[in-house]
């Protein structure tokens, strides 16, 4: 067992008793939390635990189950209908040139808002034996040029298992890009070992979509893991989920985006929280998301402004949402407001000037010449005069 696997096994908290020991029974209402712990998978790694400063803070909210998870209103088990777009086990093929490949059923820590909570945490729910049909599907579908390894967290697999997957994918000529969707740099930064960094370089281009929701997650250990990945040539992006009680605040979001950039991670998406059953208490309004975007765009570098998207319920895919800058658009002009709310007018280009009669006639001369020839041969009537042809 490698060091990171030992840390995960021996030092993570996975029960209410251990949580109470850590934070104090006088601080935690154990009986109130018990029904949640009896119903849901929970694990918090040492790195995630260190990020929790007090009960009920944004980091606590992300990892500690509550009875709110039992309260299902609009939530759906598979809110993005990923299983509906799954032609073979563990593959979701929704977009034209890319596919999602679920390779690991487990994560280091379990996030309470997880879209894939129906699958993660239970090794039975993503069978590793089913890789083969996935490889075959990817090989047969030559339109797929980008494969996103996800799960669970693909970085929970051993290096040898990951290398096997990379080799199989690199043997498929039309697969150009391999992406890893992983929260490991926040949950278990020690998993980004020198051995992994050496191995991954053989299979570039490899991208990693990290997942950070709060600036407190960018601890020195996380930043060091991101640095190791960057040095190994892995391109880093970040997906953030907009969560009530965690990051539904423009200042928090801006700080998060700045910390990511400092760690050489490009903010990629802010997602509206999905309508997943058990995660509804994390949802905030779309207006709140747009308001946050308005307070990022223009007020800080464009590099720090990700796209704000809703992953459309039922499998419609990601749809970008923008605050309303446009006021009016006509053939003559566009009226809009800038990031400070100031109004500006942009003149549309003038339509091409109407053709002069001479130009039109010149174009039509091509026809009369032929007609003249045919007329000479007595096949058609003689062409009209130029004046009549130009319609004057
Ligand atoms: S790391 Fe990702 S897949 Fe795992 S529980 Fe968190 S959100 Fe879900």
Domains defined for the chain, CATH in brackets: 83-320 (3.20.20.70), 325-350 (no CATH), 357-389 (no CATH)
Cα–Cα distance for residue pair 197/233, rounded to 1 Å = 9
Helix 250-262 × helix 286-296 angle, to 10°: 50
Q: If pLDDT is split at 50, 70 and 90, which confidence band does 388 have?
A: very low
Q: If pLDDT is split at 50, 70 and 90, which confidence band does 385 have?
A: very low
pLDDT, tens digit (0-9, with 9 covering 90-100), for 203-221: 999 999 999 999 999 999 9
Atom of ligand 1 nearest to the CA of 241: 7
Please name the residues in contact with 206: beta carbons below 8 A apart, sequence gap of 6 or more.
166, 178, 179, 180, 200, 233, 234, 235
Please name the residues in contact with 102: beta carbons below 8 A apart, sequence gap of 6 or more.
90, 91, 92, 119, 126, 150, 151, 152
The CA-atom distances, in angstroms, between 50 and each of 46, 98, 383 are 6, 36, 90
Cα–Cα distance for residue pair 290/273, rounded to 1 Å = 14
pTM, two decimals, is 0.86
Q: Report the catalytic residues.
A: 94-95, 98, 107, 111, 114, 116, 274, 311, 318
**Atom 7 of ligand 1: nearest residue by CA position:** 114
Atom of ligand 1 nearest to the CA of 110: 5
pLDDT, tens digit (0-9, with 9 covering 90-100), for 163-196: 999 999 999 999 999 999 999 999 999 999 999 9
pLDDT at 77 over 80: no
Please name the residues in contact with 335: beta carbons below 8 A apart, sequence gap of 6 or more.
326, 327, 328, 329, 343, 344, 345
| Mean per-residue pLDDT over the chain, rounded | 89
Exposure of 148 in the CB half-sphere (CA atoms within 13 A): 17
pLDDT, tens digit (0-9, with 9 covering 90-100), for 282-312: 999 999 999 999 999 999 999 999 999 998 8
pLDDT, tens digit (0-9, with 9 covering 90-100), for 233-268: 999 999 999 999 999 999 999 999 999 999 999 999
């Amino acid at each position: 067992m490698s060091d990171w696997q030992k840390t995960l096994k021996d030092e993570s908290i996975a029960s209410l008793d251990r949580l109470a020991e850590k934070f104090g029974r006088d601080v935690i209402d154990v009986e109130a939390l018990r029904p949640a712990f009896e119903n849901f998978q929970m694990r918090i790694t040492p790195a995630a635990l260190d990020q929790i400063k007090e009960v009920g803070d944004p980091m606590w909210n992300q990892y500690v189950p509550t009875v709110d998870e039992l309260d299902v209103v609009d939530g759906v088990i598979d809110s993005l209908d990923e299983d509906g777009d799954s032609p073979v086990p563990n593959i979701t093929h929704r977009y034209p040139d890319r596919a999602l490949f679920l390779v690991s059923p487990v994560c280091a820590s379990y996030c309470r808002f997880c879209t894939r909570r129906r699958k993660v945490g239970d090794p039975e729910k993503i069978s590793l034996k089913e890789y083969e049909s996935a490889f075959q599907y990817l090989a047969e579908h030559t339109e797929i040029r980008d494969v996103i390894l996800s799960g669970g967290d693909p970085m929970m697999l051993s290096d040898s298992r990951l290398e096997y997957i990379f080799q199989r994918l690199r043997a498929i000529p039309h697969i150009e890009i391999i992406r890893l969707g992983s929260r490991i740099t926040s949950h278990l930064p020690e998993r980004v070992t020198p051995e992994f960094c050496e191995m991954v370089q053989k299979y570039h281009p490899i991208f990693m979509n990290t997942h950070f929701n709060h600036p407190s997650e960018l601890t020195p250990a996380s930043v060091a893991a991101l640095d190791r990945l960057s040095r190994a040539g892995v391109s880093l992006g970040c997906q953030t989920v907009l969560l009530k009680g965690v990051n539904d605040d423009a200042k928090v979001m801006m700080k998060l985006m700045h910390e990511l950039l400092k760690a050489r991670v490009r903010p990629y998406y802010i997602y509206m929280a999905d309508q997943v059953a058990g995660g509804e208490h994390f949802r905030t309004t779309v207006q709140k998301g747009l308001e946050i975007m308005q307070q990022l765009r223009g007020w800080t570098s464009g590099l720090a402004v990700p796209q704000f998207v809703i992953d459309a319920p039922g499998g419609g895919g990601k749809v970008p949402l923008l605050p309303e800058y446009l006021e009016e658009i006509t053939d003559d002009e566009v009226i809009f407001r800038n990031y400070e709310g100031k109004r500006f007018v942009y003149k549309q280009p003038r339509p091409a000037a109407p053709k002069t009669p001479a130009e039109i006639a010149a174009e039509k001369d091509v026809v009369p010449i032929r007609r003249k020839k045919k007329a000479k041969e007595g096949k058609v009537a003689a062409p009209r005069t130029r004046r009549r042809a130009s319609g004057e």
